[in-house]
Structure 1
Amino acid sequence: MPWRLEAWLAPMVGVTTGLVTGGTGVFVIPAVPYLQALGLTKDDLVQALGLSFTMSTVALAAGLASRGVFQVDDVALSALAVVPALAGMWAGQAIRRRIDPATFRRGFLMCLLLLGAEMLARPFL
């Protein structure tokens, strides 16, 4: 993506991602394809995705809380889900260190393709 487009495209992607997240609870579209298109290094891409997902999660929690639908009872169960997530992050870091950038990018794009296919197939299952 040309650098000159980033200044005006980034806010539009942010607003669109916020609208999609608010309506569906899914943070992926369009933020992830946009961040991938920036041509970041694999470590910078993972960091940018982490920041995006963290901010989206906090904003979604705040939105749910403002509507009175944030269930505090579910926080303990959600906290338990952090343990396997951290294990996955550790494994992902180990794999990311060992693969070259081109293989990482191909794998990343394949995961996006699979995610998109799953989202398209969901209404038919």
Structure 2
Amino acid sequence: MNESNFLLAILGGTFLAAGLVKGVTGMGLPTVAMGLLGTAMAPAAAAALLVLPSFVTNVLQMTAGPGVLRLVARLWPMLLGTVVGTAGGVVLLARVDPQTASLALGLTLILYAGYALAAPNLALARRHEVWLGPVVGVATGLVTGATGVFVVPAVPYLQALRLDKDELVQALGLSFTVSTVALAIGLATHGAFELEQLGLSALAIVPALLGMWIGQAIRARISARRFRQCFLAFLIGLGLELASRSLA
């Protein structure tokens, strides 16, 4: 197998797996994709490849219900903070040493998965959203820009808002869509998003959508809680591998 076919095989397998996880859990595509691709390439290159499949799958998730405009009206301070934070954080992803970025990515995966496995039962009073939303948004943007992973601390924050199941899925899709667009703009601004990567990113849409469809079918047949536990344990292992390899 030549180098080009090997890259396509890695790309297809990665986004099939990432889409499957997203189909089952409603999130995880960029996290899994960055983790797996991060073992084969620099984080900035991996982040560029996930832009289009992440955008397409998140838009589908965001629009799968009638409440998106209401969520935008409620969450816009967090979303604006995400854009601002990503603009600052992407400087690190585009310019920092790949080993340092890999270490940051590995630690982020471990932090998020450890938090999610602990599953603290947090609830946030709505009056606190005015000031906490922008803080969470900026922090999420910094992590997104620096690592290409969108989940920390946006996902714990959205879970603490006590949205109903459908609203939470849509809110995650909305947050991830904004993060994806902000990341793409940041990467392009700093010269880390090239035409060849855009083509490969477009190719990755197909396995991502296929994986998402398979994941949705699996979700109807197995315990999503059990799958989520296995997924988070996998992320901890992947994060440890990335962090230890960057320190070697």
> Normalising by structure 1, what TM-score?
0.76
Q: Name 1:71's counterpart in structure 2.
A: 194
Deviations 1:26-63 (A, max 9, x none): 11111112112222222222211111111111111111
Residue 155 of structure 2: which of 32, 37, 46 is its match?
Answer: 32
In 1, the alpha carbon distance for the partners of 2:128 and 2:228 equals: 22
Q: Counterpart of 1:22 in 2: which secondary structure?
A: helix
Q: Which amino acid aligns with 1:61?
A: A
Q: Counterpart of 2:159 in 1: which secondary structure?
A: helix
Q: Counterpart of 2:162 in 1: which secondary structure?
A: coil
Q: What is the number of equivalent residue pairs in this alignment?
A: 121
CA distance 1:117–1:44, change in 2 (3 Å) = farther
CA distance 1:113–1:3, change in 2 (3 Å) = farther
Stretch deviating more after TM superposition (35-44 or 59-68): 35-44
Cα RMSD over matched residues? 2.6
Q: Which amino acid aligns with 2:243?
A: P
CA distance 1:92–1:28, change in 2 (3 Å) = same
Q: Counterpart of 1:68 in 2: which secondary structure?
A: coil
In 2, the alpha carbon distance for the partners of 1:4 and 1:81 equals: 41
Q: Which has the higher contact order (CA 8 A, sep 6+)?
A: 2
Q: Which amino acid aligns with 2:235?
A: L
- Shift of the alpha carbon at 1:78? 1.0
CA distance 1:85–1:31, change in 2 (3 Å) = same
In 2, the alpha carbon distance for the partners of 1:12 and 1:109 equals: 27
Unaligned stretches of 5+ residues in structure 2: 1-122
CA distance 1:18–1:73, change in 2 (3 Å) = same
Residue 58 of structure 1: which of 164, 171, 181 is its match?
Answer: 181
Alignment of 1:40-51 (within 5 A): 40-51=163-174
CA distance 1:51–1:59, change in 2 (3 Å) = same
In 2, the alpha carbon distance for the partners of 1:5 and 1:112 equals: 29
Residue 23 of structure 1: which of 137, 146, 150 is its match?
Answer: 146
